[in-house]
Structure 1
Amino acid sequence: MNRELDDEALGELEVLIPNLNWRYSGGTAVNRTIAPLIASRWRAAWLGPDRPDGIAALTVRDLLRLRFRPPSHGKVRIWHARRNVEMIAGLFLNLLGYRFALIFNSASQRPKTWLTSFLIARMDALIATSEAAAQYLSRPATVIHHGIDVDLYSPPADRRAAFAETGLTGRYAIGTFGRVRRQKGSDLFVEAMCRLLPRYPDFSAVVIGLTTVDNRPFVEGLKQQVAAAGLTERIRFLGELPVEEVPLWYQRISIYVFASRVEGFGLTMLEAMAAGDAVVAARAGAAEMVITDGDDGVLAPVGDADALAAALEPLMRDPERIEAMGGRAREKVVERFSRDREADQISAVYQKVWARTQAP
């Protein structure tokens, strides 16, 4: 899969999925989830690091050769971007004569910078991951909710046995995954755990995610807070884990906390729900769209450690509720948020773009 594509394969390419971020991120995780399904429907290739199985690799040399390989299928090639840098790259390549149809996938729920607005105005089509995200775009967009691999993110056969593999104390674990920073509410999670864990000895907590160099003082402050509370053995900072280990940790925890202050969508919510975890989520990103409060999850105000602790405590007090809530969450994700549904809807956007454009 890493070897260069031959001339015939280059000519047949219909979709290019650039992943031009050299640090693993939520956008990369989304790309990795959906790219193999796009490749099962169209002749597609991945440009950049962290390529998943199931889609061909496009090298830089392949990209240069592609300039002189007109599409044999009679359609324009699609460049499906998810970041500013990928929109810029697509526009630059078109200046060099590639003539890609440019699609931008937007997840953020905040006003756009002048640069992002400039780039968006030059896209051939827009996709938004939620109705809220679409409201921040200056042009109409097709709303397509994220989907996940419900086979990869699935409940364990025995959650207690899965928990036992962690070496944590107690019987249950509460987790939060993602970059460890203020935007993600990592401090709110730690504050809530420092309050609640002394009252509930059956529970431990884990924080999984990347710590960047510029964010180390923030993370060290959290660790000092945990140490001061005497909870170093019960609140573990595991750092960034290999991608293949993350699904296992969803199976090992029982409650997942989504504490973000600002979020585009919140893919980890879906992953945790698919794994049968009870999810307690701040009303950020797509939480209010995904979760039915009190049924398949619990919602809390954004940026409020008191409210987060209050939302968590009933589940910790009555662990029997966790399994039932997680079961309903799993059912919802399988029904409404599978990656096959997302891939089909993205494919429909490709078809619309192809219907109104002509190949070189």
Structure 2
Amino acid sequence: MSVTSHTPYMQAASVKQQVQACQLILGNSNKRFSGVTSTMLETASVQNGQIALCVLGKSHVPSSLLTISFWQAVKWFRQAPENSAVRVFHARRNDEMIQALLLKYLFGIKLKILFTSTAQRQHSEFTRWLMAKMDCVISTNSAAASYLPFEVAEIIPHGVDCKKFTPVIDRAELREQLGRPRLHMAGIFGRVRRQKGVHLFVESCIQTCEKVPDFQAIICGAIDDQEYVSQLQQKISSAKLSHRIKFLGEQVFTDVVKWMQACDIICALSENEGFGLTVLEAMSCGAAVIATKAGAWPDIIHSGENGLLVEVNDQTAISNALHMLAARPEQRMALGCRAHQTIINQYGVETEALKLCELYQNLL
């Protein structure tokens, strides 16, 4: 079994000692890259210099972080000195709670287990049972916390890397570099599916293109339902707007950032979200954001101040908001500037990592 460490040529014995010294174990049970994986890795990269940690599972983990398997955790933690300190296991998924409980109760490893709940739905009986076994449960937003049958210990919102997601000086020049016209641009990001409100975005863009001649739009993300996309493309084609409204498909991360930076307006129109990092990333890039009242977005956006909030599935409200921002450059620039400052002040990944480290220390 392989172990990845930030010291490339570390011998097996010293790796074992480093694992045994870890105060924090981070769950990483899903082999598929997701928003949960992204937030864990972003905070871990900051926490790595503040607390000794390891990641349980190597999928998508950079070489700068120490990774171990479940059975390595069992073996090495059980071999730790009798007087070794308690560790914190931070779980973000059901199976990670199960892993932590097995380590604690079946294998006798001294753990305090922390779970982050982000789901905005009624939890299954099994999930509630698992959470009842946790030493601490927190959430990332007030809406998710409201679905829990008890009061969370703390609400710690996610943060973004403001050095990666940062405004550019000349969006028009960047659009040209990306192969698009220099026209003002709106975008929607994430998996292309009905639940994400892509059809609402397309309809709003068609209406806006008819009224605002210097407007274009992009849809950026992996396509889940080709038939759904084909219907939208046909609608765009019928309006003779295929040159101004484009599906980009899935992009590599660095290009996603560039496309976000190139947008004057970014829409997030989901029916529901656990948290919804896209809005933080868009705001950090200085875009004017239109978001539905889903996920953590009502906690983050003060409508009319640092973005615009609309009701879920409200086509008229979305179309009106998009047309207004497309037609009023001064207003969208003001919203974008205040959005960027909101992220700098409150939602940087360093802020999230620091609050979590304080919580870990309290548990320890």
TM-score (norm 1): 0.90
Q: Deviations over 1:188-245 (max 9, x none)?
A: 1122112222322312211112233xx3333333333333333222222222222232
TM-aligned CA distance change 1:52 to 1:327, over 3 Å? farther
Q: Deviations over 1:49-89 (max 9, x none)?
A: 12146422324564353343327883222221112222223
Q: Deviations over 1:94-134 (max 9, x none)?
A: 34414432211111222112222122111111110012211
Q: Distance in 2 between matches of 1:194 and 1:219?
A: 15
Aligned counterpart, 2:8: none
Q: Distance in 2 between matches of 1:219 and 1:195?
A: 18
Match of 2:283 among 267, 273, 277: 273
Match of 1:247 among 254, 257, 260: 257
Aligned counterpart, 2:40: 31
Give the letter for the 1:28 counterpart: T
1:170 touches 1:204 (CA, 8 Å); kept in 2?
no
TM-aligned CA distance change 1:243 to 1:298, over 3 Å? same
Aligned counterpart, 2:215: 203
Q: Structure 2, unaligned stretches of length 5 or more? A: 6-11
Structure 1 segment 259-338 matched on structure 2, within 5 A: 259-338=269-348
Confirm or deny that 1:140 pairs with 2:142: no
Aligned counterpart, 1:130: 141
1:210 touches 1:240 (CA, 8 Å); kept in 2?
yes
TM-aligned CA distance change 1:73 to 1:277, over 3 Å? farther
Q: Deviations over 1:281-305 (max 9, x none)?
A: 1111122221121121111111112
Q: Distance in 1 between matches of 2:139 and 2:359?
A: 12
Aligned counterpart, 2:90: 80
Aligned counterpart, 1:43: 52
Match of 2:112 among 88, 96, 101: 101
Give the letter for the 1:293 counterpart: S
Aligned counterpart, 1:120: 131
TM-aligned CA distance change 1:166 to 1:244, over 3 Å? closer
TM-aligned CA distance change 1:7 to 1:24, over 3 Å? closer
Q: Deviations over 1:307-359 (max 9, x none)?
A: 101111111112232222211111111011111211111112212222xxxxx
Q: Which runs of 4+ in 1 moved over 3 A?
A: 59-65, 71-74, 92-96
Give me the identity figure in percent.
Answer: 34
1:169 touches 1:202 (CA, 8 Å); kept in 2?
no
Give me the CA root mean square deviation: 2.2
SS at match of 1:232: coil
Corresponding residue pairs, total: 352
Aligned counterpart, 1:357: none
Q: Distance in 1 between matches of 2:286 and 2:45?
A: 24
Q: Structure 1, unaligned stretches of length 5 or more? A: 355-360
Q: Distance in 2 between matches of 1:73 and 1:204?
A: 64
Q: Return the offset for 1:22.
A: 2.2
